[in-house]
Structure formats: structure tokens, C-alpha cells
Amino acid sequence: MSEGEHNCAEHCGIFTIGGDLPIQGAYRDICYQPVRDNIWTASEGIYRTIFLEGNKGCIAFDTFGTPGTARAYQQAIGRVFPKKPIHTVVYSHEHLDHCGYAADLAPEAKIIAHDYSNQVILGRHSDGQLAAHETFADERSSYEIDGCYFELIYPGHTHGDGNIAAYFPQSKTVFMVDTVADGVGYTTLMDWHLTHYVPVMKRFLSLDWDLWVPGHFWPVTRPRFIQILDYWERMFDFGQEAIIQGVDPHDWEGLNKYTDEKLGPLYGSEFRYHEYAAMNLSRYMQEYLTGGWGIEGNLAPQLGPL
């Protein structure tokens, strides 16, 4: 810690600054609505997740990203199913903004995660992020928990570590976080493994579903999922062309000028385009300037149907 010990009464993630940490305890309203069958979705406006109604209790995916939102999520589930406590938490991946606060959501619940996620969680020692009790390392694992059937799928390296999808074949629904969501990508595509991303996400088209619930904003249809992947795929060529034409990936004005002129006519109406298209482009340029990042960024993508 740089300025002394925390006096924050909340779990403090990996913050190193001392003093109070107001955002950690702040209450956020959580909206919730049914999706299909026993699947519900919850959001505070930016982040989105799902929870399932079981016979005796609930299965919550993820925790939201602060102690305050984790508690609000718990209260939202409790309002919908007041007699059904959260007995299971499934982590979509290891990032704190989605899965950092099981200690505040449901400290006694059983936690399920992919092995890669759990390795990072064990190494991170983030305050409030609980390690998994059960992990899996296969590509597909089926679960029947308290009357809820779902499959957890690790399709390959996409974002973060051990990022899994939940597939509900009976409801023709997939839930997956921080991969396909409506509009352009978030900032510089933090912790994305670009080599894998498009071919791995296309694997989901081998499954029978028509509703995709992302980790942010609103659900998308299967045709929209395909459109969004097309943007990601075309960005590889735009990234190369920007380098060839002399754009500096760290020149903010130059990046924005390029995206306004070259990408704007094609994608300018996409959600958050004017916030993030330049950052998206910068990240794609780095893929060619530096090469992929690390072991994950350079492994051959997994291909073929799931």
C-alpha cells in the first residue's frame, strides 16, 4: 500500500491505495427480468448476468464487480425468489469486475469455475474473490443442479482466462461474458486474445440457439451475433491498413481521424462507435506490430464444431 492501510470496511479487491474506497460499498439498483424457462437476467445498466431458479435454491452466475453491487445482486435474487437462497455460483471468468466478490454475494455457496480461471484466482489473492470449490478442464461439461440443466463450454481462449459459456439447449439460449456484445468492442479490448477470438466464437454457430445473453448491455439474436463477428473479422484488415498508411497506434487524434474516415461510413452507427472505434483499431494494430501477446495470444485457435 502506498499511503497506509485501508480503512475501507469493504472487501477491497486489489486496490493498493489507503483510505476509504467509496465505490466499493456503493449501492446500485439491479434490474431483473425473466429470459426463458428458469433463466433470469440481472443488470445494473452496464454489466449483465443471469441466475437460475432451482427447486430449492438459486444458481447465480458471476457476482458483479464491487461488494455493494454483489449485495444488490443478492437482494435482487432474493426479491424474485425469497425462499430460495443462492447455493451455487458459476464464474464466467476470473476478472474482478464480473466475479470479484462472491464473499459478498453468497459466501457459503459452492463455486464452479474453469480450471484456468481458478489458477489465476488462486494466484491473485484478491480481497473478496473466493476460489472455486469445483473446477473443470474439458471443452464441455454438463451439470444437473437442483433441477437446473446446463452445459458449461470452454470454446478456446477468447478473453481473460478460462472464459466459459453457459448453454441451455432446452431454452436455445447461451450466456457468455465479454465476448460478443452489441456494438463495437470495449476500449482497447482489454485482455482479449485476438488470434483466437473470431474462429473460436464462430464455433458457437454449431449449437442450436437463437438468444445470446452477453455480459454487458442487452441480449442479441443469432443474426446479430454473426454481424458483430463480421466487424471483428474485418478489423484485422483495417489494423494492417492503418499501419501501412502510417497511423501511429498511440496518436489519439490520428487514430480517431482514421476511424472517422475509413470505418465511420461502415460502422459509425454502431453502439459506442465514437467512444471506442479508435481504441479498437489501436489494439488490432498492435497485433501486427508486436505479435500476439503471451502464450495464450499465440497458440493455434481451437476450430471445428463444439
Partner 1 sequence: MQENRGLFTLDAAQAYLAAEPEMVTEKLSDRLFSVTDGQVRTLFLEGNKSVIAFDTFGTPGRARAYGKAIAAAVPGKPIGTVIYTHDHLDHSGFAADLAPDAEIIADELCAKVIKLRGAQGQLQPTRVLQGERHELSIDGVDLVLLNPGPTHGSGNLAAYFSDENTFFSSDTILANAKYGFMPDYHFCNFIRYMRGFLELDWDRFVPGRYEMTDRAGFERGCDFIEAVMNECQVAFVNFVPIWAYEPMKGYCMGQLGERFGDLEGFEGHIGQMAIRIVHHYLMGGWGLEDTAEPRVLMADLIEI
Tell which positions 252-291 bind partner 1, by CB under 8 A. 252-253, 275, 279, 282-283, 286-291
Stretch that binds partner 1, among 34-42, 69-77, 112-120, 200-208 (CB under 8 A): 112-120
Identify residue 152 by its one-letter amino acid code.
L
- How many CB atoms are located within 10 Å of the residue 201 CB? 22
303 lies in the site for partner 1, by CB under 8 A? no
For residue 106, the SS3 value is coil
Question: Is 101 within 8 Å of 67 (Cβ atoms)?
Answer: yes
By CB under 8 A, is residue 103 in contact with partner 1?
A: no
Residue of the chain from 87, 103, 110, 120 that contacts partner 1 (CB under 8 A): 120
From the list 107, 147, 268, 294, which residue makes contact with partner 1 (rule: CB under 8 A)?
Answer: 294
Give the chain's length. Answer: 306
- How many residues interact with partner 1 (rule CB under 8 A)? 64
Going from the C-alpha of 66 to that of each of 13, 15, 251, 279, the distances in angstroms are 8, 12, 33, 26
Per CB under 8 A, 163 contacts partner 1: no
CA 150 from centre of chain: 18
Question: CA gyration radius for the chain?
Answer: 20
Shortest Å distance, C-beta 225 to partner 1: 23
Q: Which of 43, 69, 74, 129 binds partner 1 (CB under 8 A)?
A: 129
**Of residues 145 and 299, the one with the C-beta less far from partner 1:** 299
Provide the β-strand partners of residue 174.
167, 212
Q: What share of the chain is helix, strand, coil (3-state, %, to 5)?
A: 35, 25, 40
| Beta strand pairing call for 110-114 and 86-90 | parallel
101 binds partner 1 (CB under 8 A): no
CA 152 – CA 139 distance, rounded (Å): 8
Which of 54, 65, 155, 156 is in the footprint of partner 1 by CB under 8 A? 65
Pairing verdict, β 31-36 and 39-43? antiparallel
Tell me how crowded residue 240 is: count the other CB atoms within 10 A of its CB.
14
Site string for partner 1, 196-215 (x = CB under 8 A): --------------------
Q: How far apart are CA 214 and CA 143, in angstroms?
A: 21
Among 36, 84, 110, 124, binds partner 1 (CB under 8 A): 124
Instruction: For residue 69, state whether it binds partner 1 (rule: CB under 8 A).
Output: no
- CB of residue 65 to partner 1, shortest distance in Å: 7
Output the smallest distance, CB 154 to partner 1, in A: 13
User: Which spans of this chain sit near partner 1 (rule: CB under 8 A)?
Assistant: 2-3, 13-17, 20-24, 26, 46, 65, 94-97, 100, 116, 119-120, 123-126, 129, 160-161, 186-188, 190-191, 236-237, 240-241, 243-244, 249-253, 275, 279, 282-283, 286-296, 298-300
